[in-house]
Amino acid sequence: MLSKLKNYKFWFVFTPYFWLVAFFFIPLAIILKISFSVSEWGMPPYKDILEINNSGDFILNITSGNYAFIFSDFFYLKSYLNSLSLAFTSTLICLIIGYPIAFYVAKSKPKIRNLLLILLIIPFWTSFLLRVYAWKVLLQGNGILNLMLIKLGFISEPLSLLYNHYAVILGVVYTYLPFMILPLYGYLVKFDLRLIDAANDLGSRKINTFFKVILPLSLPGIIAGCMLVFIPVVGEFVIPELLGGSDKLYFGKIIWDEFFVNRDWPVASALAMSGILFLIVPIVIFQMSYSKYNFKNE
C-alpha cells in the first residue's frame, strides 16, 4: 500500500477520480434522490426520504408523483419538444453553414489557414453572453437590420424581429457555430486531399466524390460537431431568455423557473433527471464516436 502511494500513477488516477465523483456524480445522485422526494413548505422544501418519527418507526417518503406530474402536464412535455426542435433545427443549420467553411479553411494553404483559423476562434473566445446581447441590439425595432431594410426599400415599417423563436434559432446558430466548425475542421484538415484527385482521376463526378469519399470520411467529425451543438442547446437558458418571446417556452427556462420562481425543488429535479434520461442516447453516441476517433489516431 505504501509503495502504491509513492507511485505517481495512483495519484494521477485517484485525484481527478475523487474530484469528479464528489462534484459531478454525487450531485447527480442527489437530484435523482430529490426528484423522488415529497415537497413540503420549509427549508429545504422537501421531506427527507428516510424519516424517524417520534415512536421510533422508519418512514419512507418516496413518491413517483413528481414524474407523474410532469409527464401528465402537457405544458412540460411541450417545452421539452420545443427545446428538441430548437436543438435539431439549429444543429442542422450549423452543419449546413459550418461544413463549407470548415472544408475551405482546411483546404487553404497553411499560411492563410492559420489566419482563417484564428479568425474562427476569436468569436469563440469572446464572451458568449455579449455575442447573444449583440443580436439583441441588432434586432431591435429601430436596430441596424430594420434600418437597412427600410433604407433598401424592402419594408416601410420596422419588423418585429426580436422576441420570437426565429430570433432564438438565429442566436443559437450564431453562438454555437464554432462548436460545429472546430471539430469538423479537425477532421478535414487531416484529410488526404489526394483522395479527391484520385476519385476525379478515376472518373467520379464531383458530386459523387463529395458524397462517396469526402462526406463518409468526415462523418466522425460531423457526429462530434452535431452532438456538441445539439446536447447543450436542449438545456439552453440564456439565449431564449434574451432573444425569445412568449411564443415558445423552452426546457432550460422551465427548470430555472421551477427552481427559482416556484421553489419546487422536487419537480425541478425530476425535470432535470428526465432531461438527462432523454439525452443519454445522444451522449452515448457522442462518447462512442469520440473514443472511435481516438482509437483511430492511435
Asked whether the beta carbons of 178 and 119 are under 8 A apart, the reply is no
Q: What is the distance between the alpha carbons of residues 70 and 158, in angstroms, rounded to a whole number?
A: 40
134 binds another protein (CB under 8 A): yes
Give the E-state strand segments of the chain in sequence order. Answer: 50-52, 58-60
Q: Which 232-261 residues touch another protein, going by CB under 8 A?
A: 232, 234-238, 241-242, 252, 255-256, 259
- The rounded radius of gyration (Å) of the Cα atoms in the chain is 25
H runs (alpha helix) in 139-264:
144-151, 165-188, 194-201, 206-209, 215-217, 219-234, 238-243, 251-260
The residue from 84, 138, 150, 213 that contacts another protein (CB under 8 A) is 138
Q: Which of 3, 53, 54, 142 binds another protein (CB under 8 A)?
A: 142
How many residues bind to another protein according to rule CB under 8 A?
87
Q: Which of 92, 101, 149, 217 binds another protein (CB under 8 A)?
A: 101
Angle, in degrees to the nearest 10, between helices 128-138 and 144-151 = 30
Nearest distance from C-beta of residue 27 to another protein, angstroms = 4
Other C-beta atoms within 10 Å of 69: how many? 15
Binding of another protein by 49 (CB under 8 A): no
Asked if 193 interacts with another protein (CB under 8 A), we say no
By the rule CB under 8 A, 155 interacts with another protein: no
Q: Are the C-beta atoms of residues 39 and 266 closer than 8 Å to each other?
A: yes
Cis peptide before 100 (omega within 30 of 0): no
Minimum Å gap between C-beta 173 and another protein is 9
Q: Which is nearer to another protein, 55 or 298 (CB)?
A: 298
User: Which residues, numbered 6-45, are part of the site for another protein (CB under 8 A)?
Assistant: 8-9, 11-13, 15-17, 19-21, 23-28, 30-31, 34, 44
| Cβ nearer to another protein, comparing 89 with 140 | 140
Contact (Cβ atoms closer than 8 angstroms) between residue 23 and residue 243: no
In the complex, the smallest distance separating the C-beta of residue 269 from another protein, rounded to whole angstroms, is: 7
Among 67, 128, 191, 210, binds another protein (CB under 8 A): 128
